[in-house]
Structure 1
Amino acid sequence: MLNAQLSQWLDAQAQALDLGQCDPQSVLAQLAAGGVLRAGISQAQGGSGGDLGDALEVMAEVASHSLAAAFVCWGQRAFIEYLLHSPNQALRERLLPSLLSGELAGATGLSNAMKFLSGIEALQVRAQDQAHGWRLNGRLHWVTNLRKSGFVVAAAVEREEGGAPFILAIPDGLPGLERSEDLQLMGLQSSNTAALDLEQVEVARDWLLHEDARQFLPAVRPAFLGLQCALAIGLARRALAEVEQHIQGVRSVLQEPLLEQREQLQRTVAELKAGLLDGRFLGEPAALFRVRIALAEATANAVQLELQASGGKAYLCEHGSGFARRWRESAFVPIVTPSLVQLRAELQRQARNAA
């Protein structure tokens, strides 16, 4: 599904992207040139057509080459999804072309907001009403795709005066908005992941994505979480493909678990796509949470199986660098917001309330 040029670039740069040895500026440009960002968006809006299932598959294929690149892709595509769900047509028409072309980076600063929606965390940005917009203060601790050459970030904002929190797009370059240096991650280093501090930042009303966060967040959560699942899917598929290569033509005790894991992965992916397309996850978020947990576990199992199939080669730098990167990548899947711990806690809360 990916064009050959993008696949080759991702394979050649995968290690450098993970370790921060590749210019983060180049990632989004490569994804855009490969047409990845347009999947699942109507042609009338500048996309290549298809649905969220198509966007999921393209992003999963990126993840099979590089989780760092897929993480950037997810941030960009999630922000685009917010625009598509926003009633602010003028903002959508203004930003969408440059987001699809990769000229502008879109950052999904709604991880804190998704935790807020489940009662886990308070909103970290607060606003005072002004004549033509708002004055913002606060901090976003971990945001990906904050490209230094230009970005716009989505944030959920609490009103100082009270009332429903709202969703705002915040462009870079505003006085009082400061981007930290890139966070020193264990991997995924070329993903433009940093923190944002907001001190008396004035944003005009034409940057409003939605006036009520409690309406908007449940509406975009299936896409936010569903597309995030592509990271796990692509990584699990790649690890299982590596297992198959290692045991090809050889009778192996790993053949049966390989087939079992592949079939289970296929069933879970089919369940995810069906829920995204039929709208089930809008009314049953717990079903989506369970799918996300299952895919994270499938990724851990697949990478563990790859280790067993590789044997001692996995610890030789000459042969095992790709595996070592996938091992680090698999460690990220359970902790990306919402983490598996947070999802399980939410499922327990819902079960108690239903009892």
Structure 2
Amino acid sequence: MESCIVEKNLMIEQLIEKELKPFVKKIDADAFYADGFLKKLGEAGLFSSINKQDKEMLLDEMHVVKETAKVCMTTAFCLWCHLAALTYIRKTDNLEIKNKLLSSFENGEILGATGLSNPMKYYAGLEKLNLSAEPVEGGYIINGVLASVSNLGENHWFGLVAGVSENKRIMGVVPCNVSGLKLKEKVDYLGINGSSTYACAFNDVFIPKEWILSENADLFVEKIRPAFIAYQIPLGLGVTQASIELIEKVGQKQNGCNLYLKTQSDDLQEEARKLEEKVLTIFNRDESLNWKDVADIRLKVAYLTLKAVQTNMLHNGSAGYLKDSAPSRKLREAYFFANLTPTVKHLEKVLTV
């Protein structure tokens, strides 16, 4: 068992070294989309659910996200998008769509995206639902606009929730090339422009029933929400760990003056260790994951990540202020993470109310 873990970790390390590290600056500066890396992870069997329990599978895949985020959180974010979509397929009772997509999602042949930023905000009482669904023979007609969906491309699929009536919402998946769907690329972000993000306008898009994950989206979202949030936790932990390593690299600069700063790498490491222990604690319980327990950790990780990247900037001084420096990239990644649905303010609300 231990040798299998070592072998798998070595495989992840080699894929990151060969398929991701050479492109990091291109991803950050030129909005390069590293879909080849994501597909290689699938080809290597790192998304396989064969002979795995849900929690074991989640922890394994969260580890891949964290290792990726240490090097490039933009690509780790795309990986999260894929794993969220993969969760939808794994959890649906619609065997037709599961049989059509599951193996292709797991082996990297097809990549997926979430499409649930607006619906998650809707369920938290932050926004109105942006998509509507009209029942027709054999399926639904979808209209409306999703402002931002990431990890999209040719032969990609993504999730959606649409309102049928005041009391009914459906959840389905659609391919990017479906008739009536218009995609407009968005690359004006402070960071993560290599995430292949698009505004998605639905104009009388027909979705057949075989693409419907659930006729009761309200219940289905409750089922997928713990994993949806859990897969985000290692995004922040990866950026935090990378920041710690960057801080340690400059420990002796200017005759060790960094030692006078109030926050040191050891402080951050201890906070990260405690949060990782909390993750294992909730995963080791016999009962199923409680999404609010997961959300609480996700919120704490967001605040730790912001603290880590700010500390990293202070330790690196003017060198970190260069536009293409690793510390400035980590800073931009962390602010994106804080505003990734569920955002910090979104989490603060749902954990307080």
User: Same fold judged by TM-score > 0.5?
Assistant: yes
1:282 CA displacement: 4.4
- Give the letter aligned to residue 19 of structure 1: A
Inter-partner Cα distance in structure 2 for 1:230 and 1:37? 20
**In the alignment, which residue of structure 1 is the partner of 2:20?**
10
C-alpha distance after superposition, 1:200-253 (max 9, x if no partner): 111110001112111111111111111012211100010001112222698634
Alignment of 1:1-355 (within 5 A): 1=9, 2-22=12-32, 24=33, 27-35=34-42, 38-39=45-46, 41-43=48-50, 50-147=56-153, 149-160=154-165, 162-247=166-251, 252-253=259-260, 257-276=264-283, 278=285, 282-283=289-290, 285-316=291-322, 321-348=325-352, 350=353
AA partner of residue 16 (structure 2): L
User: Contact between 2:42 and 2:109, CA under 8 Å: does it hold in 1?
Assistant: no
1:87–1:210: 8 Å Cα contact kept in structure 2? yes
- SS in structure 2 at match of 1:61: helix
Paired with 1:244 and 1:281, the residues of 2 have a C-alpha distance of 38
SS of aligned partner of 1:42 = coil
Q: Deviations over 1:284-312 (max 9, x none)?
A: x3332221121011111111221222223
What is the CA deviation profile of residues 71-102 of structure 1, one whole-angstrom value per residue up to 9, with x for unaligned ones?
11011111001111111122112112222233
Unaligned runs of 5+ in 2: 1-8
Q: Deviations over 1:45-74 (max 9, x none)?
A: 9x9x94211111110110110011111101
- Report how far residue 277 of structure 1 moved: 5.1
Give structure 1 stretches of 5+ with no counterpart: 351-355
Q: Specify the SS of the correspondent of 1:103.
A: coil
CA distance in 1, matches of 2:168, 2:45: 33
Q: 1:198 to 1:21 in 2, by over 3 A?
A: closer
Question: In the alignment, which residue of structure 1 is the partner of 2:4?
Answer: none
| Structure-2 change in CA distance of 1:34 and 1:213 (3 Å) | closer
1:253-292 deviation per Cα after TM superposition (whole angstroms, max 9, x unaligned): 4597321221111111221243245376744x33322211
1:29–1:287 distance in 2 versus 1, CA, 3 Å: same
Change (3 A) 1:105 1:130: same
Alpha-carbon shift at residue 182 of structure 1 (Å): 3.0
CA distance in structure 1 between the aligned counterparts of 2:344 and 2:40, rounded to whole angstroms: 33
Task: Report the RMSD for the aligned CA atoms in angstroms.
Answer: 2.5
Shift in alpha-carbon separation, 1:3–1:244, aligned structure 2, 3 A:
same
Q: Given the two structures, how large is their TM-score scaled by the length of structure 2? A: 0.88
